[in-house]
Amino acid sequence: MIAGDLVPYDPNWPEMFEEEALRLRRALGHLAVRIDHHGSTAVSGLSAKPVIDIQVSVANLQPLDAYERPLEMLGYTHLVHPDDAFSPFFHRPAGWPHTHHIHVVQAGGNEEWRTLAFRDYLRNHDAVAREYERLKHRLMTELQPTDTASREAYAAAKTDFVERVITLALASESIATKARSD
């Protein structure tokens, strides 16, 4: 098994996240406004690539060096990408297969809440989580994400599904907020 394979849910993933989150809190200190487990390893029962996805929310995305250096000290590598403007990406170890991914986002920003809304919707809607799992299994057989280009194609192929679920999640959150205020 490599990190590109989908594997059955591992009940150790939340603990693995907590251990890494502790290391990140120590290294980043006050820079980390919040640290969240996201992605498929954060959804109980969902098959996933065995990579712990972590979202680190910071008050300011710039200067990148403020959090890049502490992350490098923990063994993370920054992957320069156009998404750096709203979500710089880091991975550990430097070579493939990775065990951990970090997405840094603006605290309270759109990207932070979109990611958490997607995760929470999957956690609370098992049928949608199973639909996502089937999609991922199908894409894995079609794309074989073993190199950077195929991993990016795999991620891009999930975009329509992810955007649909985020729309549902944000709409249901808006409805719940309105119901609480009525």
Q: Binning pLDDT at 50, 70 and 90, where does residue 4 land? A: low
What is the pTM assigned to this prediction? Answer: 0.88
176 pLDDT higher than 70: no
Question: What's the average model confidence in pLDDT over 2-27?
Answer: 90
The whole-chain average pLDDT of the chain stands at 89
- pLDDT at position 151 is 72
**Structural domains of the chain, ranges and CATH numbers in brackets:** 13-174 (3.30.460.10)
177 pLDDT higher than 80: no
34 pLDDT higher than 60: yes
Residues 52, 163, 112, 154, CA torsion sign: positive
Q: How far apart are CA 165 and CA 169, in angstroms?
A: 6
Checking 19-25 for CB contacts under 8 A at 24+ apart, the result is 20/52, 20/54, 20/100, 21/54, 23/74, 24/54, 24/56, 24/71, 24/74, 24/102
Question: What's the average model confidence in pLDDT over 21-42?
Answer: 97
Residues 106, 109, 113, 115, CA torsion sign: negative
Q: How far apart are CA 148 and CA 146, in angstroms?
A: 7
